[in-house]
Structure 1
């Protein structure tokens, strides 16, 4: 079962597109590069009342804290994660908003906790962080929500610059911090995570994305004598990447680290976004990671005789680079079947001066960069993209 994930660049990556059963259309022959037709504008925009949006006046009140110091540490450039959960399984979506803190990290600092807001049937959304026991401090980043111990209630995994934390839902509106072993506790700069049943045993597992190899106590700084404060923000290109982590669940809230056996170590990615989806509809979940300034990853299961193993097929599937053959600064990531051909497509946001990218899924793990065809390239170059999500604002069936 696939739930959803959120990352530091994003936030909310709803993986519903991989859980609906859809009729499978005829698949083009392997290696075909024929473009998938863009839906006709009249079909995508049926006549009717356009949607309207307004601020939820009694909604959550939150302002993320980031310790923006004159030295401009690179950790300061990332935002926070958004998790949508259902605390008490009452059918009303609740919100988790991750927070930052002062740097360097201080385990005694309790001034800027991550916040949990309970949705009171759409009327109010009070902060229940303290009473729920979900006391998450430190420099939190992304989040993944799923029922990791199969008790019927959604738990919350929070990634961070520092140790990641798993909060188990007690079923009464409160949470308990799960114990982790040295093998399963991730103490890197983790930007995001995806929750899905990766090995097909019915338990919800985790794929944790790590970003850059940065130190808290000895941070890398970039002096600039011409800058008013004497520093400039360091480029991610100056940092080494960090291997991601695969944690397989035992179904009771415990995990084991199988990263090496899964074949994902040694790649040293610089990931900011991740989604888990069965992109080729073969019954196995694939993992797609958006990397910053490096080739993206598409992990496809290829284990034999019951073993669990991934291979990186991003290059052969045409999703490692854009159609110009360039690595992009991958940040936000979302997927959905925008052309309604039965396969989930990918949309990635990137840094200012570069275009966002739309990869159309043609089936058989073959994708085509349709950014220009969909008229999404030129307009996106003027913006610095972070979070993104597919949405059907007209309830028309078109994303």
Structure 2
């Protein structure tokens, strides 16, 4: 599966700072110190609907991570998956009378268009769950043969009790885990499981649903969590720098994935940091496909909204915060974009070297994009009011905003 084209990232004078970021597993801020190649895995979409603002906010956060790393003169090895076979996708296809593969391909293509428009840097490897199945089957067999998985009516489940570190990502108690498991795709009430929290690794073929050759597992399809594990281990290996996604993925998805990988390899941890973006609401409810309360990136684009304004609207909220999309949020972003473009359109301006460092420091401090925006606001306000004589300043500001915030002025 191919990703989307990369926009050029301007090189800035000097060097960026190492990223200090909130780690869900420890509950505190840690300083990431990758090697020459920083490694990041971000969980991708289930492509049964277009990209909404909740998706965009999450991918914006991890785009900032990449940009901070690139500014430290590191390379970035970014991997993202597409869950292109799953119950919600199949259910939507049946509801709409569509072939599920055509639905997945169409929505994935639209996602690529949205990511391109928003100037999100693409992953080096963009992998669909379906194409990863040949690598998933041996991992499930290994877990089963090692006694870390068991069969139940043809399905194969992972035993969470085989990982001594289970629970260390989300830090939730058993009651909270059970509630979230039921809410987020698990089946804690199924009779016969060793532990209600045990997640499915391989689902035996169901009538009317797609299935693949599972070798000794029999025909079926993989569970959700093992898909990402197989892709991450194949392309990044254990101990990569950041596992990212929305806050609703901390449990069960990232918790279970970490346990799968740690039992498979005997190594710990799966990722050095677990980083989670907040949820975006509309009309007081979390924006989600199941509720249908969605604001689509593609709809805004088709209505003539500048993608740079959409990106500024996302950047105006800290990535870890839960916030609400409103018409005013977008209007403020449109107005800010106009002020910034006016400021950099002059042939000369106020010195901007200090601004570059302010933006760098803000983003290195747990991706504090609102603080970075405020720094540019101050420069633009003075520039529009007073002007200056530094011929290189407007260009430097424009390159800084592009390189570090992904906004083209």
TM over 0.5: no
TM-score, length-scaled by structure 1: 0.25
If each structure's helix is expressed as a fraction of its own residues, which one has the higher value? 2
TM-score, length-scaled by structure 2: 0.25
Point out the structure with max Rg over C-alpha. Answer: 2
